[in-house]
Chain A
Amino acid sequence: MAHEILAATHAVVTLDAALPGIVWPWLVTVNMWAKSIGTGVIFMLFLLLRMYPQQVEKLRLPATIAAFVFINIFLLFTLADLHQPFRMWHIFVYSHWNSAIAVGSFMASGFLGLLTLLGYLAFKKNNETFDKVLLWTTILAIPVTLYTASLMAQCTARELWQMPAESAQMILAALLAGSAFMLLLGGNKLSDEAKNTLGVVLGLSALMAFIIYMSEYIFGPMKAEEIAATIGYIKGDGPYAVMFWLGQWMTYILPMLFVVLSRVSKSDAILKLAAILALVGLAIVKHVWLMIPQLLPMS
């Protein structure tokens, strides 16, 4: 391992060019966070319409509008992150199909088109067609959620982002964000049963995501020196260590506890608090995981 060589040689870089700092900034964090909500709301709307069709009747339009807004936020921040945003159209004209960015752009555009159609159908109260289109929208929401994990996996330089773990994290983030957002959006329109279902989705997705993060935190460094060096940024006393644990508590640990507590005490307020914490915390968790691999020198 490199740290053993370092201890023996005391090697220090004494002259080098100024290295670039953070390449993908907070704009990409917002991108991932908004996409999690946008696709997650669709997953939850589909689930609730299957389980409680009568109660969710009035949620078709607001949920579709919410998904539409957050997917547009996701697209807007994707555009803002480009250094040449006015050349965005190149993706559709000079598409490189091996690139997750290109494939994802097409899928996200198609998803936005379906959301627009859903909005129109919900406005016209054409529920039968809405439900048919929602099925295809939900199916498309899966790869739209996952493609960011493919993109991160294509970043050969960033060892921390492994495809299987990131795919699971993306789906779990969408389920967590979607259930949390629907709990807040549904309010009193949802029955206790529906709220319990959303609470279970929120709690379980938080639990599974937390297990994956802890597995990477503990066992990742045992496999590769780059992961050990990257995880080092959240094991020390630095700002990212604070942010990492703040994110874990806000997004996963406290919401899990609050979901259980809300079921025991039958308290909607506690469930809503869990939802708010999860939504805010998710942005912090995503940000830390995006930043720390970028802190490593590559050369």
Chain B
Amino acid sequence: MQLGFLVDLHLCMGCKGCEIACKVENEVPLSTWRLRVKYVDVGTFPETKRTFTPLRCNHCENAPCERICPVSALHYLENGIVNIDKERCIGCAGCVMACPYGAIYIDPQTQTADKCTYCAHRVASSMMPACVVACPVQANIFGDLEDPTSNISKYIQVHQGGVQVRKPEKGTNPHHYYVGGGNVTLNPLASERVDGHSLFNNITTLPVGGHH
């Protein structure tokens, strides 16, 4: 079994339901996110449009976080999930530095690394991840990539030409796919981040785990 995720960005409408469901399910502390939806505005007025991109751990087959972790706190489960043992983590932040997707953070409460686990605890009980359940348009598709009859495998077969991963040049072989993505949505260097130029808030950076 090789579990994977696919997000159809054509369907995503940026409601952040997945983000909130994840926060609640996993008791993710304030100021940190296991899953978040990034808004990018493209074009110049009046020809503009807004894109939405849910971002989470990519559960790479060749995960840099697993490789760099000195105590194997980050480890593979048999179903392909890259899981984390917070009791073992020493908080060296090597994984945070290694992850090319910015998917790992230092939990300010436990002072250990944390990230999306594809809701491994729910999966173990044959339930779907919380974000999949919450999505009102079924933009999040989750399942076994090795099972040709699974929803995700079928979706990939139908959209073969349009399936993308983030930063393929890193050689991490992510098990998280996007349909309908482009450079603007998947490449962080293809969009500007202007301090203070943000809807609802003007926070752009936070101290890591509030420790240093």
Q: Which residue of A lies closest to B38 (CB)?
A: A16
Chain A residues, CB < 8 A from B197: 12, 14
Q: Does A11 contact B (CB under 8 A)?
A: yes
Q: Is B78 an interface residue (CB 8 A)?
A: no
**Does A157 lie at the interface of the complex (its beta carbon under 8 Å from any beta carbon of B)?**
yes
For this complex, 11 residue pairs linking A to B, each with C-beta atoms less than 8 Å apart, are A2-B189, A14-B50, A15-B37, A23-B93, A24-B93, A154-B98, A156-B64, A158-B97, A298-B101, A299-B101, A299-B166
Residues 285-299 (chain A) with a chain B CB within 8 angstroms = 294, 296-299
Indicate whether A192 reaches chain B with its CB closer than 8 angstroms: no
Partner of A21, one of B38, B98, B99, B208: B208
Partner of B191, one of A11, A19, A83, A158: A11
Chain B: minimal CB distance from A170 (Å) = 17
A100 located at the interface, meaning its Cβ lies under 8 Å from any Cβ of chain B in the complex: yes
A132 at the interface (CB under 8 A from B): no
A27 contacts the other chain (Cβ, under 8 Å)? yes
Residues of chain B within 8 A (CB-CB) of A11 are: 40-42, 184, 190-192
CA of A13 to CA of B200, assembled, Å: 13
Question: A217-259 vs B: 1/0 string, CB under 8 Å?
Answer: 0000000011001000000000000000000000000000000
A152-163 contact mask (Cβ, 8 Å, vs B): 1 or 0: 001111100000
CB neighbours (8 Å) of B40 from chain A are: 11-14
Residues of A within 8 A of B199 (CB): 14-15
Residues of chain A whose beta carbon lies under 8 Å from any beta carbon of chain B: 2-3, 5-6, 9-25, 27, 81-85, 87-88, 90-91, 94-96, 98-102, 105, 151, 154-158, 225-226, 229, 294, 296-299
- Residue B157 lies at the interface, judged by CB distance under 8 Å to chain A: no
Given contacts A14-B39, A98-B67, contact A19 B209 (CB under 8 A): no
- For A12, what are the chain B residues with a Cβ–Cβ distance below 8 Å? 40-41, 191-194, 197
The listed residue (B36, B67, B69, B90) touching A17 by CB distance below 8 A is: B36
B187 close to A (CB within 8 Å): yes
Q: B174-211 CB contact bits vs A (8 Å, 1 = yes)?
A: 00000000011001111111100111110111111101
B91 and A82 contacting across the interface, CB-CB below 8 Å: yes
Closest to B199 in A: A15
